[in-house]
């Protein structure tokens, strides 16, 4: 049997979704990249299924594995604007090139929550260099998680918290998605089992990630346990559809399409285990 080629995001918040899949090289081949690259690899046909940014999923004809993804309700910690001044005074923002969903959400929040229209420039995720070029920086993933704004004299504006404050809904950052033929019952079940195993092993994952740094281990475990959600339910679909509508209104994606998941493959929740 030909192994299924999986594309995963290289950040900490993905580790619980791929737990144990590397132990089955006969069935799965996994490569790790930044979110925007995962989407490109899927579009190019270089992977079969990928953890792709939600905005790329909404722009595509791919289908999602039901019930599995990366989401947050309220503060997410790892997607934030770091600024030297109040948002109302921000004139130029450097945007992390690693993620397209975070950039789209930032633009939605600028237009619908903050009422600002700053100049935008893209930049590799280097906070010092970004703030040398602009008076605020959008940073995602592990670099955002590791940044101590107080130590740098910065204000941190958490995009997950801002989204939920505005809508009352979760925000879906990424989903497992691919061409429908690639997402068989067996593959979907394996991805759900990996998620279940990963969620149950958060303390072990945090320990592996921190490599002996106890403070980092504690922060990583708290982040995965309290800020990231891996079981996507009806409320997450509502949040995704709201984001879809707002992004479409701003011309960031095409006119809203139906959010598609693989048919006849049931999602599971923690209560189904």
Domain presence at residue 112: yes
One domain, residues 198 and 162: no
Same domain, 93 and 140: yes
Predicted confidence (pLDDT) per residue in 155-207, tens digit: 999 999 999 999 999 999 999 999 999 999 999 999 999 999 999 999 999 99
Structure tokens at 218: 């504690």
Judge whether 87 lies within some domain: yes
How far apart, in whole angstroms, are the C-alpha atoms of residue 115 and residue 90? 11
Domain boundary among 150, 167, 184: 167
In this prediction, the residues of the chain whose per-residue pLDDT falls under 50 are 263-273
Mean residue pLDDT across the chain: 91
Q: What integer pLDDT is reported at residue 256 of this predicted model? A: 61
Is 182 contained in some domain?
Answer: yes
Question: Which of 123, 141, 167 represents a domain boundary (last residue)?
Answer: 167
**Assigned domain for 133 exists:** yes
Same domain, 177 and 201: yes
Which residue, of 167, 187, 209, is where some domain finishes? 167
H/E/C letters for each residue in the chain? CCCEEEEEECCHHHHHHCCCHHHCCCCEEEEEECHHHHHHHHHHCCCCEEEEEHHHHHHCCCEEEEEEEEEECCCCCCEEEEECCCHHHCCEEEEECCCHHHHHHHHHHHHHHHCCCCEEEEECCCHHHHHHHCCEEEEEHHHHHHCCHHHHCCEEEEHHHHHHHHHCCCEEEEEEEECHHHCCHHHHHHHHHHHHHHHHCHHHHHHHHHCCCHHHHHHHHHHHHHCCEEECCHHHHHHHHHHHHHHHHCCCCCCCCCCCECCCCCCCCHHHC
pLDDT, position 260? 61
- Does some domain include residue 42? yes
Domain contains 191:
yes
88 and 151 housed in the same domain: yes
Question: Do 199 and 154 share a structural domain?
Answer: no
- The pLDDT value given to residue 22: 86
Both 13 and 62 in one domain: the answer is: yes
pLDDT for 17: 97
Question: How many beta carbons lie within 10 A of that of residue 200, not counting itself?
Answer: 14
Domain count, the chain: 2
User: Are residues 85 and 121 part of one domain?
Assistant: yes
Q: Does residue 242 fall inside a structural domain?
A: no
CA-atom Rg of the chain in angstroms: 18
pLDDT at 263: 46
Q: Both 94 and 152 in a single domain?
A: yes
Task: Say whether both 181 and 218 belong to one domain.
Answer: yes
Does 146 fall in a domain? yes
Closest CA to 175 of 229, 114, 251: 229
Place of tokens 């979704």: 17
* Nearest-angstrom CA–CA distance, 58 and 92: 27
CATH number for 187: 3.40.190.10
Statement to judge: residues 100 and 140 lie in one domain: yes
Q: Are residues 61 and 180 in the same domain?
A: yes
Same structural domain, 65 and 198:
yes
The parent domain of residue 14 ranges over 4-69+173-222
């Amino acid at each position: 049997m030909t192994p299924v080629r999986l594309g995963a995001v290289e950040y900490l918040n993905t580790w619980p979704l791929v737990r144990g899949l590397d132990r089955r090289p006969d069935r799965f081949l996994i490569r790790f990249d930044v979110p925007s690259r995962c989407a490109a690899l899927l579009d190019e046909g270089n992977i079969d299924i990928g953890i792709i940014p939600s905005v790329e999923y909404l722009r595509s004809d791919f289908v999602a594995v039901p019930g599995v993804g990366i989401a947050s309700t309220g503060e997410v910690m790892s997607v934030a604007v770091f600024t030297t001044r109040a948002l109302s005074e921000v004139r130029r923002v450097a945007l992390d090139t690693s993620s397209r969903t975070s950039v789209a959400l930032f633009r939605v929040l600028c237009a619908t929550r903050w009422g600002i229209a700053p100049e935008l420039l893209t930049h590799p995720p280097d906070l010092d260099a970004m703030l040398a070029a602009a008076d605020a920086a959008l940073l995602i993933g592990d670099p955002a998680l590791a940044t101590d704004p107080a130590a740098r004299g910065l204000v941190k504006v958490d995009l997950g918290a801002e989204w939920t404050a505005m809508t009352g809904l979760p925000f879906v950052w990424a989903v497992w998605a691919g061409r429908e033929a690639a997402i068989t019952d067996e593959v979907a079940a394996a991805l759900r089992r990996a998620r279940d195993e990963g969620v149950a092993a958060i303390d072990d994952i945090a320990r592996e990630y921190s490599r002996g740094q106890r403070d980092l281990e504690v922060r990583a475990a708290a982040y995965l346990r309290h800020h990231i959600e891996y079981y996507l339910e009806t409320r997450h679909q509502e949040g995704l559809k709201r984001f879809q509508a707002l992004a479409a209104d701003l011309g960031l994606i095409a006119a809203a399409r139906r959010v598609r998941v693989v048919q006849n493959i049931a999602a599971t929740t923690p209560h189904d285990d």
